[in-house]
Structure 1
Amino acid sequence: MSDARDPLRARLALATGRSAGRLSKALGKGSGSMIGGRLALRVDPGVLHAVAGERRSVLVTGTNGKSTVTALVAAAISPGGAVVSNTTGANMTDGIVTALSADRTSGLAALEVDEVYLEPVARGTRPRVVVVLNSSREYTRGVSLKSTLEHWRRTAAALPSDCVAIVNVDDPLVTWAFETAPRVVGITGGLYWRGDALVCPACGSIQEFTEQSWSCPGCGRRRPTPDWTVVPDGDGWAVEHDGRRTRVDVTVPGRTGPVGGAFALAAADALGVDVAAAAERVSAVADVDGRYAPYRLGDHVARLLMLKNPAGWAEAIDVSVSTGRPLVVAVDPFGPKDTATMWEAPFERLAGQRVGVTGGRTADAVAILEAAGVHPVEAPDIESALGTQPPGEVMVACNYPAFRRISKQFRGGTP
């Protein structure tokens, strides 16, 4: 995978991108990962194929959880060899070009991919595995859910014949989009938010849901039988596959962690990596860019959750309810829709509980929680917000700007 294999145009593109990235970093304009890849693509639109080379790549996409599951996938497939990954979260084509060009020797790649960039990334990398977590509205990008699903369906139909699509069968939108893939493996990925999946994408009928399944009375589509199932295992979780049971120990609280682990183990298995060895590596992942890592402040241990849509807020609420860990909410200004997503989330599941609230949009968050029967307690800062809860572990649910601010603050402390 050396530069000698690249055509002249690709080498020129990469050189241009590296120079731009170094300049951007020197001027304090960022890490340079985006601008470097962007300029490289302008010089040679096919440069992604050049830097991908013959690697066996796993692409991870979905509305929520991409960064976390990508980190778990990178760990799970590592027994198979060196792995390159876009760990900075630059998940569009330009950021992926930069990540792959920085490591030309690793034979494996675990790549987080923005939902609407899946097609060009898949075309450029020819992946062996595509992991699809979930699908719901995304307010921050201005792209409709319908167009994203159609994009996915076209991409799935064009995947290489040796590619495996590992999909969340509990999400009927994901299932529909990837039923055109050459090979599909199903995971019990859960569906905490059903508000965006009520209408069948195939026929427009109202879908029917039970606690563990879904079906469409109009066209007869129904939840496929999963190949990998997440099940309770003593005081933890395990994954069942082909009559085998593999314990999954992850630091991510609630069912979110083992579900991500199941996707990672299935990806490792698709690449021929021993599942037990993959599970051991997965258990060592403690932090994903500040997410989930425990930060101790006095008598409290805070775990940060970064949320951007109703599905994410619903998942955070479920983690709090299912683990019994109290919740603190931190919301900073983030455009005109920064708290709109919270109104749809099922905060009524926390009715009667005290929830500390902090950040630049505290008044909005307080109104939302009061409407749901929650007892919000306003706090001037994150330390005071944690102080509204008993000593111990606390889940801190943040929108994007609050997450960035608080995680930076916490990293100056003692994880």
Structure 2
Amino acid sequence: MVKQLKTIKADFPILDQKVNDEQLVYLDNAATTQKPKAVVEALDHYYYHDNANVHRGVHTLAERATEQFEAARQKVADFINAGDKKNILFTRGTTQSLNWIAASYGEATIHEGDEIVISYMEHHSNLVPWQQLALRKKAVLKYIGMNEDGTLDMADAKKQITDKTKIVSIAHVSNVLGVVNPIKQLASIAHQHGAIMVGDGAQSVPHMPIDVQDLDVDFYAFSGHKMLGPTGIGVLYGKTSLLEAMPPIEFGGEMIDFVDLYESSWKELPWKFEAGTPDISGAIGLGAAIDYLSEIGMDQIEKHEQDIVNYVLPKLLAIDDLEIYGPKDPSKHTGVIAFNLKGLHPHDLATALDMEGVAVRAGHHCAQPLMKYLNVPATARASFYFYNDSNDADRLVDAILAAKEFFKHGTV
């Protein structure tokens, strides 16, 4: 049964509360999303009924825990069309997933003079690991520029990606500019030059249908907590040939096949990368989140969010002295909208909005090179999800107008 978005807020009890005597409007979804009752109940059920370690025991609880844990892996594989669950590695989140690629594949394949290509809009999680790898290996880190509207400059991408390029790693959706980058096209360019394509899916997987085989990415990373799941669980997808050739990054229990005094061998995929007791409940919670999202339908989620952007972006653009970053065309903009109000620090603006019950993020959004590129120290950021609606959008606009009036005249 497909869930109806107009009644869906009832599944999120946290949204039914007042903040500073105002009804909460939660617009910080790019940082983390709220959790529906179904996900919390899945966690409760595991801990109340099936709590045991996975893969090791033959008793009933251990077998039930293992079954649910591996079922969650299959749900992830199906959700992004990975082809096989062995291509799905559970991590702590997007950050760890990208670090694993740099520490394993990157360490083994990057040499002095090789090129790694990223963009100015990358989250620190998709910048610092490559920066540090380039420093260790004396490789060259290159940046793809942006067009005036904040979209990726594909003409520059074709210049930056050369036969010396070994890794291209780009955010599928910017966590600041709200643009969707042409990952499939970038993968094609990278492969023409013998490079691999890494996709940062932290802001894409929760909001739109994803098919990693169609995108032809070599690796793809995302986080559970940005798609209704628990914190501390993430995913790294990789193509079979690459994962099989990569050495493990961590060693210990779970990932071994046989251990002798002076040498060891590893389990097959995906378990050779998952050392120690995994986040069992996190994986089960992520599986429940995928079930919930699938009941709604990712096509419906993408359309609903686009409808909100179509509604709210023109209203924001109409506010004098409010600077919007990223495309001004709603059709090119996702539900992530960064902005600044002239003469007001973004932290003060976010505080003022919070006094109206509207929760937004303020800061550099873990994208300091992008802030430098935009010539601003920070921005405020509203980010919508499927449980937001046009009323929430109106509350944002009204709160910005109230803040503008207050800081201009001292009254509301």
Which has the larger share of helix? 2
TM-score between both structures, scaled by the size of structure 1: 0.29
TM-score (norm 2): 0.29
